[in-house]
Chains A and B, each alone.
Chain A
Amino acid sequence: MSAVWLLLPLYVVPFVSHNEVLLTILIFTYILSILATGFNIVFGYAGQLTMFHGAAFGIGGYATYLILSKFGVSFWLAMLPMFVAILLLSLLVGWVCFKFRLREFYFAVVTLAFAELIRLVVLNWNDVTNGSLGLLVLDKPTVWWPGRGVIKIDGTIAWYLLALTSLLAVTLVSKLLVRSWIGRNFAAIRLNEELAQTLGINTFRYKLLAFTVSNLFAAFAGALFGFYSNYIEPAQLSITQSLDAIAMVLLGGMGSILGPVVGALLLTGLPHIIHFSAELRAATYGAILIAVILLMPRGVVGLFPGRRHVS
Chain B
Amino acid sequence: MTQIILGQILNGIIVGTLYGIIALGVTLTFGITGIVNFALGQFMMIGAYATWHLTDVTHLPYPISVALAVLIAALAGFLSDRALFQFTRNNLVNGLLVSIGLISIIESGVLLLYTATPKNMDFVLSGSWTVGAITVARMKVVTFAVLLTVIAFTWLALANTWLGRATRAYAQNPEAAMLMGVKTEMLQIGVSVYSCALAGVGGALYAGIYSLEPSMGALFILKGVEAAILAGVGNLAGALVGGIILGITESIGALFLPTAFRDAYGLVFLVAILLFRPSGLFGSQK
Contacts and interface: CB of A to CB of B under 8 A. Distances in A.
A124 B258 contact: yes
A286 B97 contact: no
A283 B274 contact: no
A289 B225 contact: no
A221 interface: no
B135 interface: no
Contacts of A110: 270-271, 274-275
A301 interface: no
Given A102-B274, A109-B225, A289 B268 contact: no
B278 A279 contact: no
Interface of B is mostly: helix
A191 interface: no
Contacts of A105: 36, 92, 233
A116 B263 contact: yes
Q: Which of A102, A104, A290 has the most CB of B within 10 A?
A: A290
Instruction: Return the 8 tightest CB-CB contacts between A and B, nearest first.
Output: A286-B104, A289-B101, A283-B108, A290-B101, A286-B101, A286-B105, A113-B267, A124-B260
B63 interface: no
Given A102-B274, A117-B264, A124-B260, A286 B102 contact: yes
A296 B263 CA distance: 37
B104 A49 contact: no
B274 A106 contact: yes
A231 interface: no
Contacts of A243: 100
B267 A116 contact: yes
Interface of B: 36, 84, 87-88, 92-94, 96-98, 100-105, 107-109, 111-112, 225-226, 229, 233, 258, 260-261, 263-264, 267-268, 270-271, 274-275, 278
Contacts of A290: 84, 97-98, 101-102, 105
Contacts of A282: 104-105, 107-108, 111
Nearest to B108: A283
Interface of A is mostly: helix
B104 A283 contact: yes
Contacts of B261: 120, 124
A294 interface: yes
B112 A106 contact: no
A101 B229 CA distance: 16
B92 A104 contact: yes
Contacts of A117: 264, 267-268
Interface residues of A, number: 34
A132 to B, nearest CB: 10
A49 B93 contact: yes
Contacts of B275: 96, 100, 102, 110
Contacts of B263: 116, 120
Q: Which of B36, B88, B100 has the most CB of A within 10 A?
A: B100
A282 B93 CA distance: 21
Interface of A: 49, 96, 100-102, 104-106, 109-110, 113-114, 116-117, 120, 123-124, 243, 246-247, 250, 279-280, 282-283, 285-290, 293-294, 297
B260 A297 contact: no
Given A124-B261, A279-B108, A102 B101 contact: no
Given A113-B267, A286-B100, 14 more contacts: A101-B278, A102-B274, A113-B270, A117-B268, A120-B264, A124-B261, A282-B104, A286-B101, A286-B103, A286-B105, A286-B108, A290-B97, A290-B98, A294-B88
A298 to B, nearest CB: 11
Contact of A289 (B88, B93, B100): B100
14 contacts: A96-B275, A100-B275, A110-B275, A113-B271, A116-B267, A243-B100, A279-B108, A283-B108, A286-B101, A286-B103, A286-B104, A289-B100, A289-B101, A290-B97
Contact of B260 (A120, A247, A250, A280): A120
Contact of B278 (A49, A106, A113, A288): A106
A123 B125 CA distance: 37
A287 B101 contact: yes
Q: Which of A96, A109, A117, A294 has the most CB of B within 10 A?
A: A109
A287 B271 CA distance: 33
Contacts of B104: 282-283, 285-286, 289
B82 to A, nearest CB: 13
A285 B103 CA distance: 10
A268 B228 CA distance: 34
Contacts of A283: 104-105, 108-109
Contacts of B107: 282
Contacts of B112: 279-280
B233 to A, nearest CB: 8
Given A286-B105, A287-B105, A293 B97 contact: yes
Nearest to A243: B100
Contacts of A297: 94
A117 B261 CA distance: 9
B49 to A, nearest CB: 15
Contacts of A124: 258, 260-261
